[in-house]
Chains A and B, each alone.
Chain A
Amino acid sequence: MALLVLTACVPTKIIEKVAIINSYGIDAAEEGQIEKTIIAFRFDDEAQNIATTLSGTANTVRGAEEDAANKTSFTLKPGQIRLVVYGKEIAENGISPYINVLVRDARVSSMMYTAISTGTAKEVLTAGQENTPANIGQYLQDLIEKEIKQNTIPDVSFFHFTHALEDTGQDPILPLLGIRDNKAALIGMAVMDNGKYAGEISLKDAFLVNLFQKNIRDKPLEVSISKEPFSDYIEGQLQTDDEQLHISTLITDGRTRTKMTDVGGLEFQTEVNLKVNLYETSEPMRIRDEKAARLLEKEMEKKITKQYEQLLASLKETGSDPFGLGNIYRIKKESGKLTEQEWDEKFPEVTVDFKVNVQLVNYGSVR
């Protein structure tokens, strides 16, 4: 009896009696409404697959969830959300209000991922569902997590994302999900500006952003450089007609330091120090002497510098600053304060002097 009284005090959420939302996508629907596509776990012994897909339409995220919940006998619970995908259309209009829902609810995890889809989120979540063995939410989450673990992209966990989003001197980047070969895949990164989708960068560029932000270890890096200077070192016949020499390396230690050289002129200087091991070259070549090594280093430096400069130029166009240059500027600024708007205006005038410093440490067992 006492047990019954006690049980009545708190409504239970027994795991097989509720549907646990694993991931959801948000798209724009007609008349300014939003459509929410939910992938939820239902532990039902009769169901073949534990993941079910539901969708609902309403004016608010929660409203859409209610709408979706009406189509199932289970109550939807948000505590295990691992992935939220925003459709491009929604993202272009700004995702801040939808992020707010997640932040406000203390039950939502900080370890989940938010992403943007090239088409609609529904497409990614449903088309993918048919072609992936496991459930799609889990699959995409693992995919993103793998890339983060391998240092290909910066950590975009929810707390990193909200941190960057609400930081005045930095803009977040999010994984860009799309469909490739009928399968959901990570196809690049979306750069954001003021919570709005501003443009996309390739995964290669995403690595450059990551390298800019933190120290990197054990990360394979492929660089294509011009073949011409190495004609002396390439052995035998040229294998291909390719103008480029592709070399594959492993970064054993990559560090970046950025400082402001001129506050008024918004000039930055970034030193990128890379220690790499040489793995593979597209043409058989011999690094006979130090000169050859220095040459190789130099060409790589040139290439990476160029990549950085191109990336910065395109970022300036989008107006998004994932590097966090604004923070460096804020520190140097006299007042120590910086508003989002101020940095938006200033960012396109920024110049960064990239000084890349590559050091070949190991050449493998071939000389």
Chain B
Amino acid sequence: MRKNQAKSSNNIFPIKVDKLKKQMESRFENNPDLVFTIYEHQKKKIAVFYIGYLVEPEMVHNYLLKPLLTSDKTWANPDILNDIPLSTGKTKEKLQDILQNILIGEVFIYVEGEPAAVSFILSKKEKRNLTQAETESLVQGPKVAFTESIAINMNIVRWNIHSTDLVLEKIMIGERAPREVRLIYLKSIANETDVNTMRQRLKDLEIDQLEDSSVLMQYIEDSSQTIFPQFYSSELPDRFAYTVTRGRIGVLVENSPTAILAPSTFFSFFESTEDLYMRWNAGTFLRYLRFIAIIISVLLTPLYVAATTFHYEIIPTQELITIGESRAIVPFPPIFEALLLEFIIELLREAGARLPTKIGQTIGIVGGIVIGTAAVQAGITSNFLIILVALSALASFTTPNYMMGTAIRIIRFPMIILAGTLGMIGMMFGVCFLIIHLLKLSSLGRPYLSPVYPFRWEDLNKTLYRLPNSRQNKRFASYRPKDLIRYSKRKASKRKDIDE
């Protein structure tokens, strides 16, 4: 393959039309999809070739073949480019280029004897309409989500960011089946080092083909050992625009409805654009709610396991009696009980996700209630634990990013095992390990835990809490954007006394 490619990257023109046909057909293994017609016009052989179902047949007929064959000109490449009433004409010399572009719906015209073939983009693409976001839904704010078409996605991005500064670099990734990837950033703001790193990582990729943006993310992440996503993936254009205008980098992949945003901090996975749309105090409250939710989600069930297995001392007597009585009929040790229940919850979630939406919801509710009630009655689990497990599952779904939510749910399992074997000490070990682990991570070379460490006071109001907009006029300084100031602060209003 490599050898073949080396050959095909040479200029093959000029070439006999018949020979070209043969070559093309051999490349497509005599595939009937390849339409290769040879016309005789003004004593010259003209070859027109394309893939049938990738182009708009009417367009080809009306705007290409009609002018081409009805005119009495002797066609040469410059004439074709000038006189055909289509604006996307380009000359292509290399066989590899031709092969690549014919696959995305270009139509090629080759006039025998010319040094290159001319291509026009007349592609037809089947696409779905814009829909509401499903994995990241907002109560307030724009609802539309990215689709699979990169052209539509770019269109949406452009509509969101009207700026000539916006750069959409095109990079093709994939050796065998290349795919278009766009590196998007604001030139006057984005940190150049970050852009270069990202571009380098994308260009250095040598893979056969790219399945999706989430796969691309895994290829270009800083550490592949960790469970935490290091780049934010979002299907929300408003989130994309919000992040890019604050000096970060976005990556769009053809045929993928999720965009990659980098660099990202650990805390950014817990922000939702909705925090922005809400008033600042409500936004802060919601953000804290989510932080508390992760703590609950990771530590609540393990705490129960640790307390009932080792540290009954820390439970006040009244609760001890409640917990003890509900545990009395359970035949398993708490660790097993908790793992079982967490496992059931995960099953329900997974089943709900795989099934069609409507059935999924029903299964979720019915399964949850039926299994929950039955499990308590059968004495497999205590009802106290059911509440805790449900609570921590609920808490884990508050994370706006699906990947982070999944990571947090998975962390709970080792945490339960540690709590069930070494009690509080085990839990503490787990927490310490997690924090050290997070400290060692980076996203696009930037520390994952910034702005907490390395500490930046002025960035805290964008991560841990929010302030009124008049106090949030700076971009995220930890990422060293070229232009730190978003807008100049309103001049501090003259201090007034009460009755003035």
Asked if chains A and B come from one complex, the reply is yes
A residues with a Cβ closer than 8 A to B are: 3, 6-7, 9-10, 12-16, 18, 20, 22, 41, 43-45, 50, 77, 79-80, 82, 107, 109, 138
Q: Is the pair A16, B324 in contact by a Cβ cutoff of 8 Å?
A: yes
Chain B residues within 8 Å of A3, by CB: 417, 421
Specify which chain A residues have a CB less than 8 angstroms from the CB of B421 in the assembled complex. Answer: 3, 6-7, 9-10
Which chain A residue lies CB-closest to B423?
A10
Pairs A-B, 4 closest by C-beta atoms? A79-B313, A43-B324, A6-B421, A43-B328
CA distance A10 to B333 in the complex (A): 14
Structural contact, B329 and A13, CB atoms closer than 8 A: no
A79 to B420, CA, bound (A): 19
Q: Flag if B324 contacts A79 (CB, 8 Å).
A: no
- B422 near A20: Cβ-Cβ < 8 Å: no
Which secondary structure characterizes the binding site on chain B? helix
**A44: B residues at CB distance < 8 A:** 328
Whether the pair B313, A107 counts as a contact (CB closer than 8 A) is: yes
Expressed in whole angstroms, the Cα–Cα distance for A3 and B333 within the complex equals 13
A41 CA / B318 CA spacing, docked (Å): 12
A50 touches which of B312, B321, B417, B420 (Cβ 8 Å): B321
B334 at the interface (CB under 8 A from A): yes
Is there an interface contact between A15 and B313, defined as CB atoms closer than 8 Å?
no
Give B contacts to A, CB under 8 Å.
308-313, 317, 320-321, 323-325, 327-330, 333-334, 417, 420-423
B329 — which chain A residues lie within 8 A by C-beta?
45
In the bound complex, residues from chain A placing their C-beta under 8 Å from that of B333 are 12, 14
A14-B308, A41-B324 are known contacts; what are 9 more A-B pairs with Cβ within 8 Å?
Answer: A9-B421, A9-B422, A10-B310, A10-B423, A13-B310, A13-B312, A15-B308, A79-B311, A80-B317
For A138, list chain B residues within 8 Å (CB): 317
In the complex, which of the residues A6, A50, A109 contacts B422, with contact meaning CB atoms closer than 8 Å?
Answer: A6
B320 touches A10 (CB 8 A): no
Question: Within the complex, what minimum Cβ distance (angstroms) separates B348 from chain A?
Answer: 24
Contact at A45–B328, with CB atoms within 8 Å? yes
Contact B309 A12 (CB under 8 A): yes
CA A80 – CA B417 in complex, angstroms? 25
A10-B310, A80-B312, A80-B317 given; A15·B324 CB < 8 A: yes
**6 A/B residue pairs, CB under 8 Å, sorted by A:** A10-B310, A13-B310, A15-B320, A43-B325, A45-B329, A80-B320
Known: A12-B333, A14-B333. Is A20-B312 also a contact (CB below 8 A)?
yes
Closest residue on chain B to residue A107 by CB atoms? B313
Chain A proximity of B316: nearest CB distance (Å): 9
CA distance A229 to B308 in the complex (A): 65
Q: Residue of B at shortest CB range from A78?
A: B313
> Are A15 and B422 touching (Cβ within 8 A)?
no
Q: Which residues of A contact B324 (CB under 8 A)?
A: 15-16, 20, 41, 43, 50
Residues of A within 8 Å of B328, CB to CB, are 16, 43-45
User: B457 to chain A: closest CB distance in Å?
Assistant: 40
CA–CA, A82 and B321, complex, Å: 14
A22 CB to nearest chain B CB (Å): 7
- Is there an interface contact between A50 and B325, defined as CB atoms closer than 8 Å? yes
A80 contacts which chain B residues (CB < 8 A)?
Answer: 312-313, 317, 320
Residues of B within 8 A of A109 (CB): 313
Whether A14 pairs with B334 at a CB distance below 8 angstroms is: yes
Determine the distance from Cα of A16 to Cα of B308 in the docked complex, in whole angstroms: 9
Q: Are A41 and B321 in contact (CB under 8 A)?
A: yes
Residue pair B312, A15 in contact (C-beta under 8 Å): yes
| A342–B250 alpha-carbon span in the complex (Å) | 82
B312 A16 Cβ-Cβ under 8 A: no
Contact in complex: A16, B327 (CB < 8 Å) = yes
Instruction: For the complex, give the distance between the alpha carbons of A18 and B324 in Å.
Output: 10
Q: For residue A7, which residues in chain B have a CB less than 8 angstroms away from its CB?
A: 420-421
- CB-CB under 8 A from B321, the residues of chain A are 41, 50
User: B residues within 8 A CB of A79?
Assistant: 311-313
Report the minimal beta-carbon distance from B414 to chain A, rounded to whole angstroms: 11
**A17's closest neighbor in chain B, by CB?**
B333
Closest to A44 in B: B328
> Contact between B330 and A77 (Cβ–Cβ < 8 Å)?
no
Residues of A within 8 A of B423 (CB): 10
Residue numbers in B under 8 Å from A9 (CB-CB) = 421-422
What is the minimal beta-carbon distance from B257 to any residue of chain A, in angstroms?
40
How far apart are the CA atoms of A10 and B429 in the complex, in Å?
A: 15
* Contact partners of A50 in chain B: CB under 8 A: 321, 324-325
Closest to A11 in B: B310
Per the bound structure, the CA–CA distance linking A44 and B330 in Å amounts to 10
- Closest chain-B Cβ to A359's Cβ sits at a distance in Å of 40
Least distance between A136 CB and chain B CB atoms (Å):
13
Cβ B310 vs Cβ A12 within 8 A:
yes
Alpha-carbon separation in the docked complex, A195 to B317 (Å): 28
- Contact between chains at B417 and A77 (CB < 8 Å): no
Of A15, A41, A44, most buried by chain B (CB within 10 Å of CB) is: A15
B423 to chain A, nearest CB (A): 7
